Structure 1
Amino acid sequence: MRKNIMYNIKRKFINWFNDMKIRKKLIVTYFTVMSAAILAIGFLSYERINTVLLEQASRNAEYSMMQLNENIKNSLAVYEEISKSIVYNGTLLDYIANIYSNRLDAYEAFKKSIDMINTIKLADSNISNISVYVMNSTFLTDSDLFIKGEVAKQEAWFKKAMDDDSELIWSSPYKDNHGQEVIALRRILFDYKKSFRMTGVLSIEIPQDVIYKYIQAESKNRNIIILNDDGDVITTSNQEYQNKNLKNVSYIHKVFLNDHGKFIQKIGNCKYLIIYNTEYNGWKIVGLMPIGKLSKDSSQLNNFIIIICIITVISLFGITYFIAGRLTRRLNILSEGVRKVGQGKYDFKIFIAGNDEVGQLSTAYNKMTDKLQYMFNEVYGANLRRKEAELKALQAQINPHFLYNVLSSIGWLAMRRGAPEIRKMAMDLAKFYRFSLSKGKNIITLNDEIDQIKTYISIQKVRFGDILNVAYEIDPALGGYKIVKLIVQPIVENSINHGMRGNDIPIHIKIKACSNSDNVIIDVTDDGMGMSQEKVNTILKKGNFSGQSSKGYGIQNVDERIKLNFGNSYGINISSINGVGTTVKIILPPVQATKELPDSAE
């Protein structure tokens, strides 16, 4: 079934294409092929430019993320170096680690330690606070710079540091005593001189903005998120994510599978290029770049390519239309000439400049029409002369003077012997032949033809009597119209000779003449034996004379003489029903006696 549908569609397309004019074929074919090529080139260029620009944007984004990673690393390293000035400060560590038996010594150590901390704090103006969680219960604390170690032990970060055996950790963001968002660097302090025991925990707090300013500078057309190894957001350009844990988010989960990389992820209705790196302290720096914004720079170039393609296709159509018109204009002239020849206008000439194939065809066409004109004139003239010769030969077979004298003698003898019927028949027969052979005329009026038929019927009535019945319905206005001689009488004769069923069965013949706007129509209708359609077709078949009855030859002779004199648009039509009757319709041009006839008719 599907194959049949495809086959039918294919056949319809082929037929549609074959029926199309050459100009349209050229336009459709050339325009389709070239447009497809241009659109293919445009599409490939569009895709390639998008790919190259996306790759370039991706490389730029990777470089930017690497630069951001380096900037944050350097910034964190500054604070870690500051922390070392405390971690490796032997004097400060001694103050914190010593066991004090009296409060005066403890106070002196406390004051000196505060001065050291405040001095170190001046190393960077961004430091919000430096504090030490002291594990020595004899060392004085103020809950600001020095805090009891028991407080640290209650914190989750302390437990994590102990579990991970980490000496240095960076905290998640939190609010300090002043309500400012800060992150803290925390390092374990050891007594390196004595027991190498933990003496405290150093905490250096810096504002979250210290890290945020770096991502703010790189966050144009992208979102940047910095997370610690637990998935807590350290800082981000998208405040929606601030102070949240994102480890269970699908694309963040992928980030923690590797130290660095990139991938494309659909988030909501938008696709993002996600690039990530890992800092030395375990932080993840994640950049989310919308694909649409990455290719924004290519949109202008893509629009330019589309405009160029559209202009090229439109221009191509105009050029194709013009070239196809120029190529087919001469073919149309040649085609028009062939149509004229098909209409019988052999004298129609075409003039096409050029010596290409079309120019050579036009020259050959003109030579062909000259030969056709010559051959047509020769054949037409020979045929006309043959018909005239046949008619003259037929007429010459009867010596008019001999017929007139014999028929007149018969009529005179019949009158002397008292036989008026014989005399009338002889005189009618003389009149009939006198009309048929008189002066060799070929064109007569309709009235003359009807008179001839009446004479013929008068002769036949002597033989058939009341069995033969003829009715006339002639439009008086047509009486003076010219017709070819002896075209109705042979039809009536055929009705009598071939239509009668027997000597005792009457036959009715009706002769009717009328006209319409274009033709004169003469109908000869009988209610005789009729004939089959096959017999009708045989009678009217041109060139089929062998073995035909006189009926067929007579009708065909009448048809050919009409066409010879008036043209192929005129002649005889036959309709017949076997056993019912026959109607012969004679179609003639409306030529009045005062008008000139065609050359062939005269």
Structure 2
Amino acid sequence: MIPASKASKQPRFIPFGYKLMITYMVFIIIPVIAIGYFSHSMYEDSIRVQTRSNIQGTLLQMKDNIEYKLSDVERISNMLYEDYSLITQLRIYEKGWDTYERTTKIVRPKFSIAVNATSLNIAMYIFLANESFPEIYHGKFLQERPDLLERNYNLYHLSRIEDKAWHRNFPAEQFGETMTWQRVERDEDFGRISLLRRLVDSQNPLDLNEIGFMRFSVRIDELFQGLDYSKIGEGSALVIKDEYGRVLYQSGLLPEGEAHGEASSHLYLTIQESVGESWAMTAYVPMTVMEQDSAKVRMFILLICMLCLIVFTFAGMFISRYFSIRMNKIVYVLNAFREGELHKRMGYRGKDEFGQIAAALNEMGRDIDHLIDQVYLTQIEKKEAELESLQAQINPHFLYNTLSSISRLAQFGEIEKLQRMVLDLAKFYRLSLNEGRTVIPIRSELEQVQAYMNIQTTKFGDAVSIFYDIDPSIIKYDTIKLILQPFIENALEHAWFGNSIHITVSGKLHGEDIIFKIIDDGTGMSPDKIKQIFDPVEGLNTGYGIRNVNSRIQLHYGSKYGVSIGSRPGIGTTVQIVIPAWREK
């Protein structure tokens, strides 16, 4: 027994285990919390940037859609403005039978063709300075009903609008450029807007006499049909304003008290894009749209930090009390985890603290294994996103060319060919979109090729021919979409040899693989050209579509599948595409 005097002299101290725990908390737990906090902050900023970028891209698509319709109306005005034969007729002031002949056989057919040369429901008003032409109109001038005049026109004398402010204040004429979009007459009553433009005597470009005036009235809801707030998130709003700040169209509602263009910056993300020459499109996106993903990440990081705190606390207790043989067991299990053997578990069954540590390590192994599975799934989702991104870049050039062909057919009045091409284009894109699915039946892929070739044969006639050699046994399998059409398109763009081209599409089952071949008798390619396609030189964009298909196949099926090319100049080209014989579950 220690005497009281000696016991009182023993210094007080903090146990080693407590010191070790404090050190452990300072150097491990605090950094974990700091890392979790900064990781969350950085990820939140990344989400904001990515969300803004995605919304900006959506706005650009909407802008392109609106500007396409605006340019379509302007194109109709150009058909009349630049028609020299029409201008010549409008300069003739003779009356009598000649005027009737010119009106019925020359002037009116040109107006009818123009107003029907677009898919938009246009109401056209023509005002002529030459009063030898009779007025032809439906309804009353002062009580006009543009909705009843759609796809038709009224022909008036210019004197009817000489006292109208919108005509008097129209800008000075610059040949081929002066035109404005305004809401005139009863446009506002009927939810419409008009393109205004002069008809001028272009015989003397230095003295552009006004011989007429054109007004093309379009429904605003048709013009801005693609403006949909739901595409950028619930609770959002999209507003189109003219050059004077007046609202032309709005999709979605801002909360009460938030005036147009005055949404609170702390409640809304505001993104603006110019439309046409003077309009502005503004998107108001609630901050809650960006906070949704952020909240999920915040909870995930919090759970991980809490898990780390629990595991590290138990690990600290174990380190402070147990070592030697028991430590070796821990080292053994940890080494197994480090080598990827996450199924290893500690078999200690004690009831002391070491048992708790063993249970914690076993639980950590399960959690890490689970997290690895989650990372694996995330990588798969990332690949699918990359696949969709690559896939979305395939067809803009084809669409532009086809629409140009449709425009030409419409301009020259070839209605039957125009209808056939439009139906084939609709079928092509219906099969392309395929409800957003990436994987489609091979049958659908072949139908899409057929729709594409129907468009091309309508365009080129007998100069293009195609032969199909398809093994019926491959029809039951699936493929990623749009792997055949890009090569046929490539052949039709670059492989012409003379005035015709012949293309063969074959599909065969070879073991557990399906082999497609696209063969043409075109100009062929040199080995250097083929090498540049798969290994492009910086600054050149040769073979982008081919690399696109090859990347999508390898991204989806693996590196052993893909595209190969065989070709000889002057003989033709054979493209071989290999995919697995596979069905989507």
- Does the alignment reach a TM-score above 0.5? no
The answer to which structure has the higher helix fraction is 1
TM-score in terms of structure 2 length: 0.43
